[in-house]
Amino acid sequence: MNTNWFNQSIFYHIYPLGFCGCPEKNNYTIDSIETLLKIEEWIPHIKSLGIDALYLGPLFESESHGYDTVDYYSVDRRLGSNETLKRVIKSLHSNGLKVVLDGVFNHTSRDFFAFKDIIANRENSRYLNWYREVSFNNGIHCYCWNGHNNLPAFNLQNEEVLNYLMGVVDFWVKEFDLDGIRLDVADVLDFGFMKRLSSHVKTVKEDFWLMGEVIHGDYSHWVKPEILHSTTNYECYKGMYSSFNDTNFFEIAYSLKRQFNTSNGIYKNLNLYNFVDNHDVNRIASTLKNSAHIYPLHILMYTVPGIPSIYYGSEWGIEGNKDNNKDSVVRPNLNLDNMSRNYSRDLIKTIQQLSYVWHVTDALKYGNYNEVFVSSDCFAFTREYDNKKVLVVINSSFDEKNPGELANYKGFDILNNENIRSVNVSPSWGRVVILD
């Protein structure tokens, strides 16, 4: 059992520039505005959800959305100053919350000092080899992330660049007492860089967490002792919601068996990062075809292998569909008093229940996974650890379910707080049974 803090933590994810209501474009001439202090107001709410760690999206000086870094050593003036971030992290730590920041190390803005030097000095710039495939035909061109001309990609095989970024990490840990980094676009990052980073952070902070954003690919290429502790589990993200929308639990059952089955699951020893939505996709309340499914979906997310995560605002079931690929609608400025007054707390209560269940049930944090039963609208599996077995049953139908295949399972349902001798499951709900 790996008992590092990150394997025992439920995460809350905030995209700071949206959460704090910042202008979409930065104005480098203005003084800093301490909008980031808003996070302190939310700490009691975050803790009430049973959260252990906060993942904050990009918050260092950038041109616009945060993933176009201008200065790795200065907090974005739209959010405040370095002292603002120090204060916020100190407040979070004093409330028992770990803090993970977004590390955007694949690319920068064209306003980053090294690229500005290339613009000014062209072929004579000493930073020419800091970027990939730089050329000067009809302007200044280089390899850019995903074809975005304003996101030139670092040459992560350049020793100067590597030393610079290791210095950035040293600064973040020393100045802000950071607990981990989520690596943006880890699926295209140089593996040599990630190995170098992993080795380096172990010398800086022993229990420092490295998690990578991986949308496509074999997660085991990234999650290794010498590279990363975890990656985003996009396969199960998609499988979870579409299994409800399509009345097809066979989809998520297939993915979970492939990934985590006790005998031959390809990721059975990996602790991946689970979510039902985030800053890059539609809000889960907009994704689901039936609003009632938001409850059993969260039961599923909390009980499958991995690290649970809640994206800010979705605990109230707020909606948000990306229009014309515009991200701002899923990265809103939220007012806590307004949310508390005008939105239902029903999902919050479910999340609070699930956080409690997850924290007190080691089988859900560390246990083996085995499928027990699957139909189009009912799904059951067990998690087992240290001779204790838990049965999870999820019902997506609008009728009570009592599968005959589960007739011999008996125990205490910790989610619903009752002893059961028959596994009947309420409509659009679930059970988490500690078996006799």
Q: What is the CATH number of the domain that holds 165?
A: 3.20.20.80
The whole-angstrom separation of Cα 286 and Cα 44 is 27
The whole-angstrom separation of Cα 207 and Cα 188 is 25
Tokens representing residue 57 in the block: 């999206």
Within this chain, do residues 304 and 400 fall inside the same structural domain, yes or no? no
- Neighbouring residues of 227: CB distance < 8 A, sequence distance ≥ 6: 191, 194, 195, 198, 210
Residue 323 is predicted with a pLDDT of 81
Within this chain, do residues 257 and 150 fall inside the same structural domain, yes or no? yes
Query: Where does a domain end: 307, 339, 366?
Result: 366
Say what the pTM is: 0.97
Would you say how long the chain is, in residues? 436
Within this chain, do residues 411 and 271 fall inside the same structural domain, yes or no? no
Within this chain, do residues 82 and 221 fall inside the same structural domain, yes or no? yes
Query: Mean pLDDT in runs of 10 for the chain (436 residues)?
Result: 87 98 97 98 98 98 98 98 98 98 98 98 97 93 95 98 98 98 98 98 95 97 98 98 98 98 96 98 98 98 98 98 88 97 97 98 98 98 97 98 95 97 96 97
Query: Where does a domain end: 306, 336, 366?
Result: 366
Within this chain, do residues 397 and 274 fall inside the same structural domain, yes or no? no
Q: What is the CATH number of the domain that holds 412?
A: 2.60.40.1180
The residues that bridge with 180 in the sheet, in sequence order, are: 100, 209
Please give the sequence-ordered ranges of beta strands (E in DSSP) within 45-159, or none if there are none.
53-56, 60-62, 69-75, 98-103
Within this chain, do residues 362 and 403 fall inside the same structural domain, yes or no? no
Within this chain, do residues 415 and 285 fall inside the same structural domain, yes or no? no
Residue 2 is predicted with a pLDDT of 67
Within this chain, do residues 335 and 390 fall inside the same structural domain, yes or no? no
Domain count, the chain: 2
Within this chain, do residues 86 and 211 fall inside the same structural domain, yes or no? yes
Query: Where does a domain end: 309, 335, 366?
Result: 366
Within this chain, do residues 343 and 382 fall inside the same structural domain, yes or no? no
Structural domain span for residue 300:
5-366
Within this chain, do residues 269 and 407 fall inside the same structural domain, yes or no? no
What's the distance, Cα to Cα, between the start and end of the chain in Å?
23
Within this chain, do residues 170 and 25 fall inside the same structural domain, yes or no? yes
Closest CA to 296 of 364, 392, 370, 365: 392
